[in-house]
Amino acid sequence: MNLFVLLMAMASAKFDCSLAQAVQRARDSAFSTLTAMQRMDEETLNRKETFAHLLPKLELDGVQLSQSSNIATFGLPFPGDQYVPFYSIQDIRISTKIPLVHPALWRHLAESDAAYAARTQERETAKAFAGLQGGLAWIEAAKAQALVKDREEGLHLAQTLREMSLEQKQAGTATRLDLVRAQIQETQSKRSLSMARMALEKALLVLNRLLSLEDGDRATLVGALPLKPTETLPSRSGIELPQIRSAKAARDAARLATKTAQADKYPTLSGFADYGYTGTHLNRDGLWTGKIGIQASWELFDGGGVETKVSKALVRERIAALAERDAQLVARQDEQEALSAVTETAEQLRQAMEAGALVDTELVLAKDKFRAGASGNAEVVQAQGNQTQAHAAWIEAAGTHQAALLRLRWARGNWEGF
């Protein structure tokens, strides 16, 4: 074996991929899923940042200062010279402050929890949609693979017809025109096979991207596209759809954001303590001093900023409520549309199966007639053309039906039973 081909084969890894595996891998590794997981991590850090504001703050400050003073600026009369020459101050202090009562900070913490819950549901929604996209990509690839197989069989039939036409011409029961027709049919079959292979390669590339396969790795389809209607429909999972849970979580987060904005109106209470050493070069008598206390603060008016913030939060809350209602409506419509599509595509697939069986019979009869010398091969060529079109329609109908079934699974939140 060529060394380069061997190295390439060793470098590339195959991923045996059934429909269920495509759905699961896409759910776990698609870009949208990974992005949603990073947003969860970001929200976790936001919560830690919010919680940090509720913990005591500890500061260590040190000052080395040289200064002079004009006593007259103190506003008190002193006898004698009003000028104090330069002197040094050393001050080293440690201080702490802790919020005792701070409604806004506690509401911020609850808001962070709600935002994390919303991010979690966004991840589940992203996973469900990624699974749908991965499954649809697998169906497209399986459909393209089935078409390649059918085109290979069509090429084999065209080659058989060309050989038969040559034999019939040599036997004197066929004309040069029959042989040319068969050669044209073979050429067209090769072209159709080449186009089908290109379509399969493109479908596999899309599937590889949606499955987040590394460069050089390729998905190998396991299983074939079912060419008959599926009689058993997926049932409802009994669990609320992730897109609805996500909308509800976003609404809850918006409600808490409103309460957080309202909490900025409330008073706060903080405790503080300070202890350190202060000395000068004038008397060189350093002292350890400190203080401890409680501070209450209540901003009575800030120019209307808090009221505006609350109003904006209420608008976002109403938008979130509308989004939740819309998500429920869309979910019901998706299920109805998917169910209708499954029913219609099943009927279309049955009709395509019947048409495929008829053209297969037509081809057999036309070949028997030509082989017996009762006619030229024009009827065979026509029958093969009809078979090519009918089989393509059959495969397309089968793919459309499977895609409708997958969408019904997604609409019902049921990813079991592939």
Torsion sign, CA atoms 266, 271, 277, 280 = positive
Superfamily classification of domain 12-57+101-269+305-412:
Outer membrane efflux proteins (OEP) (1.20.1600.10)
The Cα–Cα gap between 16 and 1 comes to: 24
Return the structure tokens found at 96: 């702490």
pLDDT over threshold 80, residue 247: yes
* pLDDT, position 13: 66
At 79 the pLDDT is: 79
Q: Using pLDDT thresholds of 50, 70 and 90, give the confidence band for residue 77.
A: confident
| Residue 283 binned pLDDT confidence (cut-offs 50, 70, 90) | low
The predicted structure's pLDDT at residue 256? 92
Pick the range with the lowest mean pLDDT from 213-217, 285-289, 399-403: 213-217
Say which residues have a Cβ less than 8 Å from residue 413's Cβ, sequence separation at least 6: 128, 236, 237, 239, 240, 241, 242
Tell me the pLDDT tens digit for each residue of 89-143.
Answer: 888 999 999 999 999 889 989 999 999 999 999 999 999 999 999 999 999 999 9
Number of H helices, E strands in the chain: 8, 6
Burial class for 152, CB neighbours closer than 10 Å (0-12, 13-18, 19+):
middle
For residue 306, give both structure tokens: 């808090």
pLDDT in the model for residue 6: 40
Question: Closest by alpha carbon to 365, among 353, 354, 374?
Answer: 374
DSSP string, 111-172: HHHHHHHHHHHHHHHHHHHHHHHHHHHHHHHHHHHHHHHHHHHHHHHHHHHHHHHHHHHHHT
pLDDT of residue 181: 92
How confident is the model over 45-75, as pLDDT tens digits? 999 998 898 899 999 998 888 888 888 887 7
Can you read off the two tokens belonging to residue 141? 């690839």
The string of pLDDT tens digits covering residues 161-213 is 999 999 888 888 888 999 999 999 999 999 999 999 999 999 999 999 999 88
**pLDDT confidence of residue 82:** 81
Smallest Cα–Cα separation from 177: which of 9, 375, 3, 24?
Answer: 375
pLDDT digits (tens, 9 = 90+) for 327-340: 999 999 999 999 99
Residue for token digits 């034999």?
A: 167
**Measured between alpha carbons, how far is 95 from 57 in angstroms, rounded to an integer?**
8
C-alpha distances in angstroms, 222 versus 34, 189, 396? 26, 26, 19
Residue 302: its pLDDT value, please?
84
Where do the structural domains in the chain lie, given as residue ranges?
A: 12-57+101-269+305-412
Q: In this predicted structure, what is the pLDDT of residue 5?
A: 43
Give Cβ neighbours of residue 242 (< 8 Å, ≥ 6 apart): 121, 124, 125, 127, 128, 413
Residues with Cβ < 8 Å from 115, sequence gap 6 or more? Answer: 43, 46, 47, 253
Helix%, strand%, coil% for the chain, nearest 5? 65, 15, 20
pLDDT confidence bin for 86, thresholds 50/70/90: confident
CA distance 134 to 28: 11
Residue 393 has pLDDT above 80, yes or no: yes
